[in-house]
Amino acid sequence: MRVALFVTCVNDTLFPGTGRATVRLLERLGCTVEFPLEQTCCGQMHFNTGYRDDARPLARRFTAVFDGYDAVVVPSGSCAAMVREWYPSLGVEPPAGVYELSEFLVDVLKVTDVGAYFPHTVTYHPTCHSLRSLKVGSRPFDLLSQVRGLTLVPLGGADECCGFGGTFSLKNSAVSAAMCADKVRGVLDTGAEVLCAADNSCLMHIGGSLARQRTGVRVVHLAEILASTEEDPA
Amino acid sequence: MSGTFVGMPAFPEASSRAVDDAQLRYNLRKATHTIRARRAAVVGEQPDWAELRAAGAAIKDRTLRHLDVYLERLESAVTAAGGHVHWAEDAAEANRIIVDLVKATGETEVVKVKSMATQEIELNSALAAAGIRAYETDLAELIVQLGDDLPSHILVPAIHRNRAEIREIFTGRMAAWGRPAPENLEDDPRALAEAARLHLRERFLSAKVGISGANFAVAETGTLVVLESEGNGRMCLTLPETLISVVGIEKIVPTWRDLEVFMQLLPRSSTGERMNPYTSTWTGATEGQDFHLVLVDNGRTSVLADRVGRQALRCIRCSACLNVCPVYERAGGHAYGSVYPGPIGAILTPQLHGIAGPLEESLPYASTLCGACYEVCPVAIDIPEVLLDLRAKVVTKGHRGERLAMGAARRVLDNPKWLAMAQRSAGRLRRWAPRRLPGPLSAWSDTREVPVPPRESFRDWWVRRPNQEGDR
């Protein structure tokens, strides 16, 4: 199977650790991972802000770069949703086989125990586009519950948006910050050491607030927990 | 007289003021979470909810496709049953028709059933200008009217008020409108409701003209339908000698069989009840009552012409999208600057008004696109899809600075070499990464840490990685 990684521009530029973890995890599970260097960005920021003419060339680039692979793995729910759900409205037919990471692991590789070790108390924020666009459902929980050493604690109000929303966080910063404050309170109420999600943009927003408040709670992408082992801990 | 929404500020400004109001946020959180839980419970017990929802959407779409046919069918049926049908292209025409109808009765007072259409056309102001006093009889509308306030929710217009505030409004303002509040009124809900009952009863018994909206208009028989909880609607519909119903042209359903679907969808989605306490239906002029139906367009046909936006006309005004919206919960209804707040307002107002000014331009951005509204909508309006479509329309007008920035970002992102160069520059400058960002980006760093760029981007790590089979 030809598996390509679409790392996403946010991970590529700001959170390369998530990309490296995804590669390590997929290779450990027997995949040969390719990273086409012509890839850049799915166009979500432009599309969601209304700039469709700017989003379209990025969508065409994605489609050209990832055409012909059996699977394209995306460690971001919202970028995967952008490609699958919204490319058609730009007049771009998305390539088949674009999977968010947890979908690829559970549905294609058919694994939930990925051999990970992460001895921490973790709570999981499901993120809106994974939850309501992709409908990944229990997949991330099925994966996390098999991680050795990991204690998963439920997050109150988990399915409520954290308030990031891309440019919403700047255009409506007061409401965005108020939503984030409630999410942060929910996270702190769990007593978890680590907040996990499958989207680094949401984690950048919630984590930025957790850090500003000096809470000591770490944010870690799902890929990094699943890649973590005794020898190479996250 | 309640105020009007004319000249409201854009959403970001109005909502940031609301966020600072701790009492408002507490009231909204408590109220929306209560209704949200009730709705979830009664929708969850309905095994065929998904099918009902699909049927609701399909019936509305079919009706809208043949709206001309059904409207004429409704007109003939109402006329045949002794009613009078009037057509109003916009709010001004609707108000003119209604004022003339009331004047013809010689009356200077009317009682009103809660109605979004009359709020939308700002009928109460038009009546006041003609020397006619309109009395709201829905409890929440009464609170808004007595408080000289604006509605902030479709179903519960006074959702932003708690019972202590309501007690103050009743004791301070009821006397100016009729029977005063009882001495030593407590803020217990039963006592407040009793005060409103006593105050309103005098109105019901003396009013000669009633004004209502309608939840549905059944084309095949010309029957209008109102769903309500308090019984004030039943009073206003049956007691007055003249009844004027003001109805948006999209409220039509072809047949009673179609109505049955919405009778299941609406109460469960709006109040979270299996069935609402009062459902009134009437056909034309009954028992000697003089009946007038005013059908209002007021921008609806231009919405109908929009391929993506027209789905907003399916809306049955249940307000489930408001109750589940995390933005509405923090911003409150007034921030949306119209009688239609929340997610549905964010797509209805810019469509009904056109993208006419800063308010309408800001509303499509009053959402994180989290999708909770679409999930609960009983007629499957894909609100995020319409928001995105409206955003694409907004950016064609002005927004020069943002457009330049977006264009520049696209040119970098559409070129892997430039992207890699930008990433390396950021990596080299990482030790000078600022804690506070300048200009519009300061909105980020006011409450959140700024991510520090890594020493090495993912793509540079990949290229440096030995023995890769990847496509270089």
Residue to test with chain A: of B359, B382, B445, B447, most A Cβ within 10 A: B447
Q: Identify whether residues A127 and A93 lie together within a single domain.
A: no
The residue out of A87, A108, A129 marking a domain boundary is A108
CB B461 within 8 A of CB A194: no
Q: Is A165 near chain B, with CB under 8 Å?
A: yes
Q: What is the DSSP string of B112-181?
A: E---HHHHHTTHHHHHHHTT-EEEE-SHHHHHHHHTT----SSS-TTTT--HHHHHHHHHHHHHHHSSPP
CB B470 within 8 A of CB A4: no
Shortest alpha-carbon distance between residue A162 and chain B (Å): 9
**Residue A232 falls within a domain, yes or no?**
no
Residue to test with chain A: of B370, B395, B456, most A Cβ within 10 A: B370
CA–CA distance, B15 with B236 (Å, rounded to integer):
36
Dihedral sign for Cα atoms in the order B334, B382, B378, B64: positive
The residue out of A108, A143, A161 marking a domain boundary is A108
**Residue A116 falls within a domain, yes or no?**
no
CB B114 within 8 A of CB B231: no
CB B461 within 8 A of CB A20: yes
**Residue A37 falls within a domain, yes or no?**
yes
Residues 113-142 on A with a CB inside 8 Å of B are 128-129, 131-133
* B370 → chain A, closest CA residue: A128
Shortest alpha-carbon distance between residue B181 and chain A (Å): 38
CA–CA distance, B72 with A68 (Å, rounded to integer):
55
Q: Identify whether residues A145 and A94 lie together within a single domain.
A: no
Q: Which residue has the tokens 């666009």?
A: A133
Residue B205's CB is within 10 A of a number of other CB atoms, namely: 9
Residues 54-73 on A with a CB inside 8 Å of B are 54-55, 57-58, 61
DSSP annotation of B250 = G
**What residues of chain B lie within 8 A of the CB of A209, using their CB?**
447-449
**B62: burial class by Cβ within 10 Å (0-12, 13-18, 19+)?**
middle
Q: Identify whether residues A102 and A175 lie together within a single domain.
A: no
pLDDT at B4: 66
Residue A138 in this model has a pLDDT that exceeds 60? yes
Q: What is the DSSP string of B123-135?
A: HHHHHHHTT-EEE
The interface predicted TM-score of the complex, written ipTM, equals: 0.96
**Residue A114 falls within a domain, yes or no?**
no
Q: Which domains does chain B have, with CATH numbers?
A: 11-300 (3.40.50.10420), 400-464 (no CATH)
Tokens of A95: 């390539």
Q: Identify whether residues A138 and A219 lie together within a single domain.
A: yes
Domain that holds residue A201: 121-227
Residue A228 in this model has a pLDDT that exceeds 50? yes
**Residue A27 falls within a domain, yes or no?**
yes
pLDDT digits (tens), chain B, 472 positions: 345 677 778 999 999 999 999 999 999 999 999 999 999 999 999 999 999 999 999 999 999 999 999 999 999 999 999 999 999 999 999 999 999 999 999 999 999 999 999 999 999 999 999 999 999 999 999 999 999 999 999 999 999 999 999 999 999 999 999 999 999 999 999 999 999 999 999 999 999 999 999 999 999 999 999 999 999 999 999 999 999 999 999 999 999 999 999 999 999 999 999 999 999 999 999 888 999 999 999 999 999 999 999 999 999 999 999 999 999 999 999 999 999 999 999 999 999 999 989 999 999 999 999 999 999 999 999 999 999 999 999 999 877 889 999 999 999 999 999 999 999 999 999 888 888 888 888 989 999 999 999 999 999 999 998 865 544 4
Domain of A159, CATH number, reads 3.40.50
Q: Identify whether residues A125 and A209 lie together within a single domain.
A: yes
| Helix/strand/coil percentages in chain B, nearest 5 | 55, 10, 35
CA–CA distance, A145 with A143 (Å, rounded to integer):
6
Q: Identify whether residues A104 and A156 lie together within a single domain.
A: no
Please judge whether B406 and A128 are an interchain contact, meaning their C-beta atoms are less than 8 angstroms apart.
no
- Alpha carbon of B21 to those of B14, B17, B443: distances in Å? 11, 7, 19
Residues in chain A: 234
**What residues of chain A lie within 8 A of the CB of B434, using their CB?**
none
Q: Which residue has the tokens 């709570």?
A: A123
- Name the β-bridge partners of B279: B227
Residue to test with chain B: of A130, A172, A204, most B Cβ within 10 A: A172
Q: Identify whether residues A219 and A131 lie together within a single domain.
A: yes
Query: At A2, is the pLDDT very low, low, confident or very high (cuts 50, 70, 90)?
Result: confident
In the chain, the amino acid numbered B432 is W
Q: Identify whether residues A25 and A94 lie together within a single domain.
A: yes
**Residue A234 falls within a domain, yes or no?**
no
Q: Identify whether residues A188 and A129 lie together within a single domain.
A: yes
Q: What is the 3-state secondary structure (H, E, C) of B346-375?
A: HHHHHHHHCCCCHHHHHHHHCCCCCCHHHH
- Measured between CB atoms, which of A54, A89, A168 is closest to B410? A54
In the chain, the amino acid numbered B282 is W
pLDDT at B5: 77
**B439: burial class by Cβ within 10 Å (0-12, 13-18, 19+)?**
exposed
**What residues of chain A lie within 8 A of the CB of B435, using their CB?**
none
- Measured between CB atoms, which of A54, A172, A207 is closest to B365? A172
Q: Identify whether residues A104 and A149 lie together within a single domain.
A: no
Residue B430's CB is within 10 A of a number of other CB atoms, namely: 12
pLDDT at B471: 44
Shortest alpha-carbon distance between residue A126 and chain B (Å): 12
CA–CA distance, B168 with B181 (Å, rounded to integer):
10
Q: Provide the domain count of chain A.
A: 2
**Residue A163 falls within a domain, yes or no?**
yes
| Contacts (Cβ under 8 Å, ≥6 apart) of B121 | B91, B94, B95, B246, B296, B298
| Contacts (Cβ under 8 Å, ≥6 apart) of B366 | A172, B11, B15, B327, B331, B335, B336, B346
**Residue A81 falls within a domain, yes or no?**
yes
What is the pTM assigned to this prediction? 0.95
CA A13 to chain centre: 15
pLDDT at B472: 40
**B302: burial class by Cβ within 10 Å (0-12, 13-18, 19+)?**
middle
Shortest alpha-carbon distance between residue A56 and chain B (Å): 10
CA–CA distance, B193 with B8 (Å, rounded to integer):
32
DSSP annotation of B302 = H
- A31-90 residue pLDDT tens: 999 999 999 999 999 999 999 999 999 999 999 999 999 999 999 999 999 999 999 999
Please judge whether A133 and B371 are an interchain contact, meaning their C-beta atoms are less than 8 angstroms apart.
yes
CB B208 within 8 A of CB B105: yes
**B233: burial class by Cβ within 10 Å (0-12, 13-18, 19+)?**
buried
Measured over all CA atoms, what is the biggest interatomic distance in chain B, rounded to whole angstroms? 93
Q: Identify whether residues A70 and A91 lie together within a single domain.
A: yes
- Alpha carbon of B374 to those of A85, B199, B321, B393, B472: distances in Å? 14, 40, 7, 21, 42
Shortest alpha-carbon distance between residue B263 and chain A (Å): 27
**A220: burial class by Cβ within 10 Å (0-12, 13-18, 19+)?**
buried
Shortest alpha-carbon distance between residue B70 and chain A (Å): 31
**What residues of chain B lie within 8 A of the CB of A34, using their CB?**
469-471
CA–CA distance, B402 with B169 (Å, rounded to integer):
45
In the chain, the amino acid numbered A98 is V
DSSP alpha helix (H) spans, B211-364: 232-238, 256-270, 300-304, 320-324, 326-331, 342-353, 358-362
Please judge whether A165 and B451 are an interchain contact, meaning their C-beta atoms are less than 8 angstroms apart.
no
Residues in chain B: 472
* B452 → chain A, closest CA residue: A14
CA–CA distance, A33 with B170 (Å, rounded to integer):
70
Q: Identify whether residues A198 and A157 lie together within a single domain.
A: yes
